[in-house]
Amino acid sequence: MQAGKIFLQFFYSGGPEFSERFLIFFIFRARLLASVSDWTVLLKELLMEKSEFVVLKIEDREIRLPVVTGSEGEKAFDITQLRKQTGYITIDPGLMNTGACYSSITFVDGERGILRYRGIPIEELVKKASFVQIAYLLVHGTLPDEGQLREFSELLNINSLLHEDMRHFFDHFPRGAHPMHILSTMINALAAFYPNVDLQSMEEDIEFSTARLISIVRTMAAMAYKKSVGEPVVYPRHDLSYCANFLNMMFDSPVNPYKISPEAVRVLNILLILHADHEQNCSTTTVRTIGSAQVNLYATISAGISALSGPLHGGANQEVVEMLRSIERGGSIDAFLAKVKDKNSPTRLMGFGHRVYKTFDPRAKIIKKECHAYLKKMKISDPLLDIALELEKTALNDDYFISRNLYPNVDFYSGIVYRALGIPENMFTVMFALARLPGWIAHWKEMIGTNTKIVRPRQIYIGRNRVRGAKR
């Protein structure tokens, strides 16, 4: 053990450019030649010696907690051993100050309004990539070349059909069932039709399984809509792109053939790209939490969809449309905002503010521009858009909202665009799930690729207690 540590110290002394890459190689080699745990301990000890620390004073002791620095400079101190060393835990309702994992998928800087997928700014991606390319980027780590894109697209086509036996499931949902509930149930049921979805099997065939889920969810979503309106199912076509296929399955009819608009396909691509991932939000955290129990991919994604269905998460854009409609009926933006500022009023300003962004949501800037362009191009007049513009202008010039960092978020305009595409409001959350799926899969894949422990947070108990020695 000591000899190994001396070797590592010698090796590390060659400087970070030399040592960090070669340490990885030798540690990997050691996994094959010796005990994994021994070498992991050695490496951890060595890195701890090189680490920055914060000092925590507890009672009459001082505890050193190692500082971890991310690739964008964000710092955290590691409390992994806190309870073991001190008997204390931390309390952080909502987990706003807690880093639950390491991740290389998405970077968000709320103070500066930055969003990057795999290091690439979202502003660049919406200009040069399709949603299929973004899905590949998130799941595999790099944008695909021509050959990789062709192979991935072929896998999507091959896996676009739903098992015919599953079609009968749709017949037994109530006519008024919310498409989101149908989608969550159907995805969970996929494990019965594709049973080889345990972690080992998925790792061996991750690309095929990923493509199957990304493709088949699109088909399920369209089927759920068709069921809700009592129309016959439209099958996917191999000659259409991902977004064009979805629009055709949604709106094509035997008596009214759907004409696919390139403009509609383009704006749908952008909407899906903007929603493809957003770091450790509620649904993504759910996916990682459920997945940590080694649950199969389908059940894990089903849980993520359930988390997304809440009005404070995926349902927010629908709430925005309902808010704009209520203002249209009331006739006064000033009166509405007065209710928002009244502490005794339940009225809320939907589509403004974000748990992370303290300035403009970069996605909102993009979708606002695309919303205007699409409605103008298609000569669509939407009174709700006019209300939205006036509401945004008024709120952004009001000290009440400025002081609280309440800026428009991505939900503020996305609902208007979905309305313009002909997508009904009860499908808004489904569209969010369709977009977020590659991000969920990427996080699930990243999680199973590490030695992840099952998530098991602690609590501070505040219930009734029994005094020692008291009668029962």
DSSP 83-113: HHHHS-----GGGTT------SSEEEETTTT
Give the strands of the sheet with 114-117, arranged side by side.
106-109, 114-117, 120-121
Q: What is the pTM of this model?
A: 0.83
Tell me the average confidence (pLDDT) per consecutive run of 10 residues in the chain, 472 residues long.
47 43 46 43 47 85 89 88 89 88 93 94 96 96 96 92 86 83 91 71 69 92 88 92 96 94 96 96 94 89 92 82 91 90 91 84 92 90 88 91 87 90 92 96 86 86 75 52
Token look-up 């933006």 returns 333
171 among known catalytic residues: no
354 among known catalytic residues: yes
- DSSP letters, 195-216, are ---SHHHHHHTHHHHHHHHHHH
Per residue in 204-251, pLDDT (tens digit) is 567 788 888 999 999 999 998 888 888 889 999 999 999 999 999 999
d(CA 116, CA 306): 26
Backbone phi and psi for residue 108, each to the nearest 5 degrees, phi listed first: -125, 130
Residue 418 pLDDT:
93
Three-class secondary structure assignment of 110-165? CCCCEEEECCEEHHHHHHHCCHHHHHHHHHHCCCCCHHHHHHHHHHHHHCCCCCHH
Residue 191 structure tokens: 């494990």
Residues pairing with 76 in the sheet: 68
Residue 26 pLDDT:
46
Q: H or E stretch including 57? A: strand 53-58
Residue 260 pLDDT:
95
Q: Are 8 and 46 in contact (CB under 8 A)?
A: yes
Extents of the domains making up the chain:
1-50, 51-79, 91-464
d(CA 161, CA 157): 8
Residue 15 pLDDT:
43
Spot the catalytic one: 278, 354, 361, 443. 354
Residue 36 pLDDT:
39
Residue 40 pLDDT:
45
- DSSP letters, 256-307, are SPPPPPHHHHHHHHHHHHHTS--SS-HHHHHHHHHHTTT--HHHHHHHHHHH
Neighbours of 453 (CB within 10 A): 7
Per residue in 110-143, pLDDT (tens digit) is 889 999 999 999 999 999 999 999 999 999 999 9
Spot the catalytic one: 252, 277, 411, 443. 411
Residue 17 pLDDT:
43
CATH number belonging to the domain at 91-464, selected among 1.10.580.10, 3.40.50.300, 3.40.640.10, 3.30.390.30: 1.10.580.10
Specify the 3-state DSSP secondary structure of 420: helix
Residue 60 pLDDT:
85
Per residue in 339-392, pLDDT (tens digit) is 999 989 999 899 888 878 888 889 999 998 999 899 889 998 889 888 988 998
